C-alpha cells in the first residue's frame, strides 16, 4: 500500500466559498483554520447527535478516535468528501462510508509512541518488573531470575512502519529479528511461514492491521506452535488474538504475554486475564499525547492543505485491503 493516494475528487467549492471541516477539539479547530482563510472548523462530538446548521455543509471530517459512527451522521453530511482519521486502524470505517468519501488514516503519526510501548512492555515482561512491583507493594524483598531481551530471537509479525521502528529500537539489545508480513519479499516471510518460525522465537510481537486475514490470526494453533516460556506482545488490536485460547495457554503457565489491547476492550471486571501473574496489561495506552498530538495535528492539517491544492493525500486506506 503506497503512502500517498492519487489526488482526491475536486472539491465543489466556489472561488470565495468556505471549506467546512468537522473536528473533535478546539485546538485542532484552530490548527485547521490556520491552514487557509477559506476554512471554517466546527467542533463535532457524536455524543451531541448529528451535525446541524453550517456543520452539515462539511466536506471534511476528522472523527474523534477510531470509533464507529452511526449512519445518521453520514446522512446529515451530503457534501462530505474526505474522512481523515486520527487513528492508524481504519477497521471501524472501511465499508461503512458513502462511495463518494475518501478515507485516510494516520499511519505513521502513531509510530514513535507505539513502538516505544512495545519495547518498554517487552523489557518489563522479560525482566519480571510486574512481579517485582507486586512484591514492592507487599513490602517483600524476594530475588528471582527472569528473562532478558539481550540476544533474544524476536519474531515481528508485521513489517510496516511501526514494526520496523520497533526493530530499530530493539537493535541495541542485539536481538535477532525475523520479519513476517502478509506478502513475502526480500528479508520478509509470509504469514504462511509462521508455523515454522514460531517454535524458535523468544518474543513474538504483533503489529498488524485488522483485516479479515489477521482477525483471529493468533488462535490455539498459533499459540501452541510458540516455544515454552515465550512472550507474546500485542501492540496491534485485541481481535487479532483469540482471547480464550490465550487465557488457556497463560493459565497453564506455558506462555507469557504483554497486552496493550484486548478482546473485549475495555477488559471487564473479573476477566481471567486480570488475575494471571504471567501477563502485563495496559489499557490501550500505546500512544502518549505528548508524542501523538503534534504528529496527528500535522497529519490532519497537511492532508487538508493537500486536499485544497488537489495534491496526493497521505495515508490512503485501500477499501479492499482494509488499511
The catalytic residue among 33, 40, 131, 265 is 265
DSSP-assigned letters across all residues of 238-281: GGGB-HHHHHHHHHHTS-EEEES--SSSSPPTT-HHHH-TTEEE
30 labelled catalytic: no
Judge whether 111 and 165 are in contact, CB under 8 Å: yes
Residue 23 pairs in a beta bridge with 43
Give CA separation, 95 vs 6, 129, 211, 312, in Å: 20, 42, 12, 22
The catalytic residue among 284, 302, 305, 312 is 284
**DSSP, res 50:** S
User: How wide is the angle at C-alpha 147 spanned by C-alphas 224 and 247, nearest 5°?
Assistant: 35
CA distance 198 to 148: 18
The strand pair at 102-104 and 82-84 is best described as parallel
Q: Nearest Cα to 299, choosing from 285, 312, 311, 315? A: 315
237 labelled catalytic: yes
The catalytic residue among 42, 64, 110, 237 is 237
* E-state strands within 59-217: 60-61, 82-84, 102-104, 153-157, 176-181, 188-190, 203-206
265 labelled catalytic: yes
Q: In the numeric block, which cell numbers belong to residue 94?
A: 472501511
DSSP-assigned letters across all residues of 56-81: GG-SEE--STT----HHHHHT-TT--
Active site residue ranges: 237, 265, 284
Amino acid at each position: 500500500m503506497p503512502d500517498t493516494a492519487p489526488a482526491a475528487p475536486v472539491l465543489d467549492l466556489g472561488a470565495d466559498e468556505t471549506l467546512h471541516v468537522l473536528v473533535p477539539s478546539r485546538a485542532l479547530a484552530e490548527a485547521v483554520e490556520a491552514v487557509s482563510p477559506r476554512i471554517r472548523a466546527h467542533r463535532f462530538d457524536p455524543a451531541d447527535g448529528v451535525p446541524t446548521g453550517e456543520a452539515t455543509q462539511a466536506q471534511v471530517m476528522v472523527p474523534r478516535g477510531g470509533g464507529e459512527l452511526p449512519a445518521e451522521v453520514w446522512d446529515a453530511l451530503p457534501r462530505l468528501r474526505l474522512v481523515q482519521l486520527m487513528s492508524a486502524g481504519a477497521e471501524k470505517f472501511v465499508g461503512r462510508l458513502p462511495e463518494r468519501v475518501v478515507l485516510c488514516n494516520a499511519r505513521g503519526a502513531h509510530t514513535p509512541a507505539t513502538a516505544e510501548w512495545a519495547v518498554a512492555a517487552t523489557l518489563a515482561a522479560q525482566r519480571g518488573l510486574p512481579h517485582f512491583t507486586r512484591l514492592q507493594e507487599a513490602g517483600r524483598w524476594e530475588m528471582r531470575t527472569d528473562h532478558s531481551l539481550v540476544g533474544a530471537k524476536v519474531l515481528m509479525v508485521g513489517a510496516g512502519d511501526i514494526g520496523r521502528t520497533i526493530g530499530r529500537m530493539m537493535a541495541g539489545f542485539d536481538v535477532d529479528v525475523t520479519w513476517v508480513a502478509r506478502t513475502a519479499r526480500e528479508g520478509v516471510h509470509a504469514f504462511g511461514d509462521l508455523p515454522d518460525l514460531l517454535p524458535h522465537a523468544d518474543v513474538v510481537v504483533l503489529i498488524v492491521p485488522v483485516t479479515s486475514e489477521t482477525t483471529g490470526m493468533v488462535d490455539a494453533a498459533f499459540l501452541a506452535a510458540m516455544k515454552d516460556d515465550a512472550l507474546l506482545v500485542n501492540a496491534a488490536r485485541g481481535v487479532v488474538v483469540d482471547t480464550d485460547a490465550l487465557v488457556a495457554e497463560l493459565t497453564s503457565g506455558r506462555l507469557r504475554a504483554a497486552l496493550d489491547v484486548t478482546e473485549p476492550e475495555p477488559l471487564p471486571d473479573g476477566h481471567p486475564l486480570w488475575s494471571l501473574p504471567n501477563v502485563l496489561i495496559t489499557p490501550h495506552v500505546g500512544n502518549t499525547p505528548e508524542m501523538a498530538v503534534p504528529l496527528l495535528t500535522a497529519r490532519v492539517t497537511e492532508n487538508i492543505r493537500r486536499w485544497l491544492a488537489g495534491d496526493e493525500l497521505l495515508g490512503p486506506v485501500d477499501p479492499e485491503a482494509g488499511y
